[in-house]
């Protein structure tokens, strides 16, 4: 299964970025093979409006099944996510990506919106 993280840096030791749309990096972890794919999302700074949907589009292209992040998604991002079927878990904004993964496995993260 592919698990995606919104992070402030390019590896799993990086702190999570609590934001979805304007996250610095997206990391995708294949938890069966341990393969990691990192996408630099910093160019999102140049987007005035609609950062959320743009970032979700990247998540879809990466093939994420689960997303671990800090806050719930804003309205527009939520709408795309609903259509993609990606499961969202929130409340990991203050952790590192590794800690977020542990918290997710232990069922300590809150599933967002039941979507």
Smallest distance from other proteins to CB 34, Å: 26
When the beta carbons of 2 and 21 are compared against other proteins, the nearer one is 21
- C-alpha span between 101 and 114 (Å, rounded): 19
90 touches other proteins (CB under 8 A): yes
What CA–CA distance (Å, rounded) separates 72 from 110? Answer: 10
88 Cβ contact list (under 8 Å, min separation 6): 66, 67, 69, 72, 73, 81, 111, 112, 113, 115
> In the set 11, 35, 94, 102, which binds other proteins (CB under 8 A)?
94
The alpha carbon of residue 51 and the mean position of all alpha carbons in its chain are separated, in whole angstroms, by: 14
* The binder of other proteins chosen from 1, 34, 43, 49 (CB under 8 A): 49
Instruction: Pick the closer one to other proteins by CB: 27 or 51.
Output: 51
The only residue of 9, 31, 39, 76 in contact with other proteins, by rule CB under 8 A: 76
Within a 10 A sphere around the Cβ of 66, how many other Cβ atoms? 18
Establish if 19 lies at the interface with other proteins (CB under 8 A): yes
Nearest 10 degrees: CA dihedral of 1, 28, 26, 19?
A: 30
| Contact residues for other proteins, defined by CB under 8 A | 17-22, 45-51, 53-54, 57, 60, 70-72, 74-76, 78-80, 83, 90-91, 93-94, 110, 112
């Amino acid at each position: 299964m592919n698990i995606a993280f919104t992070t402030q840096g390019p590896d799993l030791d990086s702190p999570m970025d609590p934001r979805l749309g304007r996250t610095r990096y997206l990391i995708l972890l294949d938890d069966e093979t341990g393969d990691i794919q990192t996408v630099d999302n910093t160019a999102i700074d140049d987007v005035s409006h609609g950062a959320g949907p743009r970032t979700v589009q990247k998540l879809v292209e990466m093939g994420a099944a689960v997303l671990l992040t800090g806050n719930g998604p804003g309205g527009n991002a939520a709408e795309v996510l609903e259509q993609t079927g990606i499961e969202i878990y929130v409340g990991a904004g203050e952790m590192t990506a590794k800690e977020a993964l542990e918290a997710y496995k232990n069922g300590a993260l809150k599933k967002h919106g039941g979507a």
